[in-house]
Amino acid sequence: MEKIKIGIIICDRYSTCTGGKCFRAAANREGAFSIYKDQEIEVAGFTTCGGCPGGNIEYAPEEMKKNGVTHIHFATGFLVGYPPCPYMEHFKKFITEKYGMKVIFGTHPIPQKYYCTHLNMKTWNSEFLKESIKPTLSDEPTRQNYD
């Protein structure tokens, strides 16, 4: 079985994040990492977007690709921050077209406290966001474990 190398890009407003929830979710194949349940994975890159409007998006995927990364995950913070990142669609198109890499939105399951807040606020009502949060929805007990 071939190992899939993953790069994680986090929103710069969380630049001091140590990645604990992302790494736990990767190890447990939870949230967006559940797509790899029967595969070996390695997180081979971890960086921020560089701040709005994502200046690091032009360069980080290229460096990650040199290290074998084929899949880029945008951390769950892009989806649950308020407001959700308005540049995600552009980032996905750019990375896919320029580098030929697969782009997945989300890493760890959405924490239940964020899930409830965003549902009440109707934050995720666009078709793009409805689709983007699907890999990170999980079930309520799992979401609670990420609060």
Q: What is the CATH number of the domain that holds 54?
A: 3.40.50
* Strands, E assignment, 25-144: 41-48, 71-74, 102-105
User: Which residues, in sequence order, are bridge partners of residue 104?
Assistant: 73
Angle at 73 between CA 53 and CA 108, to 5 degrees: 110
- pLDDT > 70 fraction of the chain, expressed in percent and rounded: 100
Q: Domain span at residue 127?
A: 4-145
Structure tokens at 103: 């782009």
SS3 label, residue 74: strand
* Amino acid at residue number 114: Y
* pLDDT higher than 90, residue 106: yes
Q: What is the pLDDT of residues 53-67, one digit of tens each?
A: 999 999 999 999 999
pTM exceeds 0.85, yes or no: yes
Q: Check if the beta carbon of residue 112 is closer than 8 Å to that of residue 147.
A: yes
Domain total for the chain?
Answer: 1
* Amino acid at residue number 18: T
